[in-house]
Amino acid sequence: MTKAGLIETVAKRVDGLTKKQVEIIVNVIFDSIKNALAEGDKVEIRDFGNFRLRSRKQRLARNPKTGALVNVPPKRVPHFKVGRELRLMVNRQGN
Amino acid sequence: MTKADLVTVIYERVGLSKKEATEIVEALFECIKNTLAEGESLKISGFGTFHVRKKGIRKGRNPKSGAEIQITPRKVVTFKPSMQFRTVAEKADS
């Protein structure tokens, strides 16, 4: 499923909002999560999961094409840890 | 940031009531969970992709007793952030 499908599913579930309004809100939600992490914050959605940053050390890597050594600076990468309820949901019998 | 903060952002930026904002935040995460529970992946452009991966049976060890045990096959949810998300997050302060 893609974002468009998700928006449609959400729009069916809530009363009194157009698909366009749901689209705006869904975008605000994902942007807020992204911005929080970009500022070094973490996002905790109970029963769903947590978004945090993980740190990657500086390392030396190779350009696969030329074989030249390149320095990869330290960086932070977004990480999602699945919450208990979602973890159990995907493993429920019959799926 | 928690669900309550997301509700506040929607309340302030979109002008819904707190009640309506709560309802849609809950609905969104419920829909995402249901999609993944069906085993279906979910791709959010500009954000990332949630995948459901199947893990086979494997051997593990009880770290306390050292006893060898079978780890049953299971499904796990993984998230791969989009390039755009990685780019905005990469220089965040610790």
The CATH number that applies at residue B21 is 4.10.520.10
Residues A1, A34: one domain? yes
d(CA B73, CA B94): 36
Of A25, A30, A89, the CB nearest to B47: A30
Are B44 and A30 within 8 A, CB to CB? Answer: yes
Q: How many domains does chain A have?
A: 2
Residue of A52, A21, A49 lying closest to B42 (CA atoms): A49
pLDDT at position B93 is 76
d(CA A69, CA A63): 6
- A17: exposed, middle or buried (C-beta count within 10 Å: 0-12, 13-18, 19+)? buried
Share of chain A above pLDDT 70, in %: 97
Q: Which of chain B's residues have a Cβ under 8 Å away from the Cβ of A10?
A: 24, 27-28, 31
Residues A60, A37: one domain? no
Residue of B12, B6, B43 lying closest to B25 (CA atoms): B6
Q: Which of chain A's residues have a Cβ under 8 Å away from the Cβ of B2?
A: 43-46
Q: Is the pLDDT of residue A61 over 60?
A: yes
Does residue B62 sit in helix, strand or coil? coil
Residues A57, A91: one domain? yes
Q: How many domains does chain B have?
A: 1
Residues A86, A48: one domain? yes
Residues A14, A27: one domain? yes
Q: Which residue has the tokens 């960086």?
A: A75
Share of chain B above pLDDT 90, in %: 80
Q: ipTM, 2 decimals?
A: 0.88
Residues A34, A68: one domain? no
pLDDT range class, residue B91, cuts 50, 70, 90: confident
CA dist list (Å): A87 to A83, B21, B52, B53, B56: 6, 26, 10, 12, 16
Residues A13, A56: one domain? no
Residues A11, A27: one domain? yes
- A35-39, A51-55, B1-5, B11-15: segment of lowest average pLDDT: B11-15
Q: Is residue B88 part of a domain?
A: no
CATH number at residue A51: 4.10.520.10
Are A6 and B35 within 8 A, CB to CB? Answer: yes
Bridge partners (DSSP) listed for residue A19: none
Q: Is A83 touching B (CB cutoff 8 A)?
A: no
Task: State the pTM of this model.
Answer: 0.89
Domain containing residue A8? 1-41
Q: Is residue B68 part of a domain?
A: no
Mean pLDDT of A7-28: 92
Residues A50, A90: one domain? yes
Mean pLDDT of chain A: 93
Residues A54, A37: one domain? no
Bridge partners (DSSP) listed for residue A59: A72
Mean pLDDT of B24-40: 95
Domain containing residue B22? 1-38
